[in-house]
Structure formats: structure tokens, C-alpha cells
Amino acid sequence: MGVAIIGASMTKFGQRDAWLQSLLAQAGEECLDDAGVTPADVEHLYVSNMASGEFEGQTGVMNALAHDLGVLPAYSERVDQTSSSGGAGIYEAWQSVASGASEMTLLVGGEKMTHKTTGQATDIIASITHPAEYKHGVTLPSFAGMTARHYLERFDAPRESLARVAVKNHKNGVDNPKAQFQKEITMEKALESPIIADPLRLYDFCPITDGSAALLFTTEERAKELTDEYAVVSGIGGATDTHVVHERDDPTIMGGVVDSSEAAYEMAGIGPDDLDVAELHDMFTILEFLQLEGIGVAEQGTAWELATDGTTQKDGELPINTSGGLKSKGHPLGASGVAQGVEIYEQLVGEAGPRQVDAETALACNVGGFGNCVITTIVEAAE
């Protein structure tokens, strides 16, 4: 059964006073309003969230949201796949409609993080690692530092190419009123910012963020009855790589990206050359390169050239992260994959405003952990 997206919304990302339950409710309400669907029509509700218990001592958030939105007695479930919880939520939502289990599925992703110190938030995220890694004080940023060093040394890539990713995504974010940072940065600023995990600096990393995003899914048939503005999930794949990061044969290959994108391309019957726009999980600048290579847009060790020659700019051949990416939009863990979906939906239905590019086929790649779990989704404009 063809699965369509008929509504999308997101709260302002950034430092928010609201706690998770109200952030989720805000995005959920706006999404139903966007599609003109009433709460009573919702049959399944998925809430993508990594760590509400660890961050604010609140669990059972799917039940809270179902009650707050008035969608009872809809089936509800919380989806945790760490940083890719949002993508995993898209997978669950797609499954629920494709299987016939639900005709109207609401997906809301969210996280509330900024009330913790950077150290506390880093520790919560680092708790996804294997105990043999955790006890050494490893953090996700330090995995990025080690991988970036290996990439730059092995492929002789210039350090500046990583900064170009940050500069590009900040530039894109200026046009996104929901982004945490609507502010351009210069190469100098990126290259001279404080070192966080050598050779990576502050501007190679996404910020810590509060926020929520939502998508509404239904069958293609029902979508046609309800609206002229919808997009179709034509391919989706999910895959898992090693839990222990150093056990991977090649530190520069994200197996989960390769495997999930292959599955998504196969389902959609397309390949990397068919993409018009993509949202990639730029939690760290180096990840944009690894994903461009993993999804088959660039050969191994060459994606840095696309940042340098302008290919991935908004006016380039394949715009990457028109939303501003996690880098400028922010990364409220469970919301991020959903927000990627919001951006490609808006691009495909022509609602991206100043960020609009010409796109019929879009891809979103949502990475959990350091490539531990990955969801790749391909969405196409309605015919």
C-alpha cells in the first residue's frame, strides 16, 4: 500500500522554556492542523524520543501525548533508536500504514536537553557506548575527532573542506525561521573556534537543542481524497552497524548508511543519480562526507571535493541540508530525523519558502550513535 505524508510541522528549535510534553503537543497539534485532520482520525501515534527519562525524569511520553492531543484510544508507542529515533519513527509510521494496521498515523519526535550542562548532556549521549568504550570517557564528539583525523590523513583531504560544511549549513539555516542559529559564519570563524576533539573545533559540531517535529502519514488513496499537497514515501531502509565503533573494518565507512540506503533505493527503484535534494545527519561536519559516500553520491575519500566545488550548496547540483542541517537548525535527538522529513516534505510540496529548490525526489539519512543505527528514507513528490 502506498504511503503518503500529508502534514508536517516543527516547533522553533533552540533553548526552550517548555518541557518535552508541551513541545510534543505543540508540534503534534500544528501537524494535524496543517493537514486538516481531526485528532479522532488518528489511529496510530508514534513518539520518537531518545532519553526523556534521563533528561527530565519523565517516561511514558507516548501516553502523555496521546491524552494531550485527544487521539485516544489510538495505538501509541515510543520509538528509541538514539539519534536516529526520528528516522526510526518514520519507519514505524510507514510500516503501520503500509501494513494496513493504521489508516492515519501521527509521528511526533522531540527532546528537551538544554536544561542540562553540556557535560551532563554529553554523558547521557555517551551512555549509548559499550562499557569498554564508556569507561575511557569516550564521547560522540571524540569518535568524530578520531574519524575526521583518519579521513583527512588517509585521503589527503584539506581541513578547510570540513569547515565549508559548517559554513554552508549555517548559510542555509539563515532562511529557516525554526533553526536554532539563523546566522552565517565565516571560514575564519570556523577554523579558529576552540578545539573540542582535535582536529575538530566548535563549529564542526551541532549544538544541544530543545524542540519537536511532526509528520502525518496516510494511504496514498486517502491522501488524494484529503489534499492536493502530499508526498509519497517511495523507499525506506534501516540498518545496524557494530555497537563497538573500533570493531568496524574501515573507520571511514558507515555500514548502516550503505545498507539502509541500498534498501531504500531498491524499494524506490532509483539510484543516487536520481536525487534532487537530501538532508544528511551533520551532527559533526565529517558525517556529511561519510554519508555522501555511504549513500553512493561520492566515491570513498572524495566527498570533501563536493563541499569544495559547490555541488552541495543550495544552488549546486545536489543541495545538501537546505534546512540548515543539524549544524544550524539544532539537534533535539528524537526530533532530528522527523525534522529532516519535515524539510524534504516541504521541499517536495513547494512550501520551503526562501529555502525552496527544484525537487521531485528527496532523501533523508538519519544516523544514530556514531553510525550504529541508520534510517534512510526516500520521498517523492505526488504525481
Q: Which residues bind another protein (CB under 8 A)?
A: 54, 118-120, 122-124, 126-127, 130-139, 141-142, 145-147, 149-150, 153, 194-200, 242, 244-247, 251
For residues 140 and 268, which CB has a smaller minimum distance to another protein in the complex?
140
Residue that has been written with the C-alpha cell 526530533 in this structure: 335
Q: Which three cell numbers stand for residue 290?
A: 561519510
d(CA 7, CA 202) in angstroms, rounded, equals 35
For residues 56 and 274, which CB has a smaller minimum distance to another protein in the complex?
56
Tell me how far, at minimum, the Cβ of 327 lies from another protein, in Å: 17
Tell me how far, at minimum, the Cβ of 189 lies from another protein, in Å: 18
For residues 137 and 353, which CB has a smaller minimum distance to another protein in the complex?
137
Q: Which three cell numbers stand for residue 95?
A: 510500516
For residues 120 and 300, which CB has a smaller minimum distance to another protein in the complex?
120
Where are the alpha helices (H) located in 156-236, listed in sequence order? Answer: 159-173, 187-192, 220-226
3-state secondary structure of 267: helix
d(CA 134, CA 142) in angstroms, rounded, equals 12
Tell me how far, at minimum, the Cβ of 135 lies from another protein, in Å: 5
For residues 4 and 146, which CB has a smaller minimum distance to another protein in the complex?
146
- C-alpha triplet 140, 9, 331: angle, nearest 5°: 10
Tell me how far, at minimum, the Cβ of 218 lies from another protein, in Å: 39
Residues 330, 334, 338, 340, CA torsion sign: positive
Residue 37 backbone dihedrals phi, psi, to 5 degrees: -110, 140
d(CA 271, CA 79) in angstroms, rounded, equals 29
d(CA 129, CA 147) in angstroms, rounded, equals 16
Tell me how far, at minimum, the Cβ of 242 lies from another protein, in Å: 7
Tell me how far, at minimum, the Cβ of 268 lies from another protein, in Å: 30
For residues 136 and 225, which CB has a smaller minimum distance to another protein in the complex?
136
Tell me how far, at minimum, the Cβ of 123 lies from another protein, in Å: 4
**CB neighbour list of residue 265: distance below 8 Å, 6 or more residues apart:** 235, 271, 272, 296, 378
Tell me how far, at minimum, the Cβ of 182 lies from another protein, in Å: 24
Q: Within a 10 A sphere around the Cβ of 336, how many other Cβ atoms?
A: 35
Strand 361-368 and strand 277-280: the pairing is parallel
For residues 206 and 278, which CB has a smaller minimum distance to another protein in the complex?
206
Q: How many CA atoms lie within 13 A of 231 on its CB side?
A: 28
For residues 38 and 59, which CB has a smaller minimum distance to another protein in the complex?
59
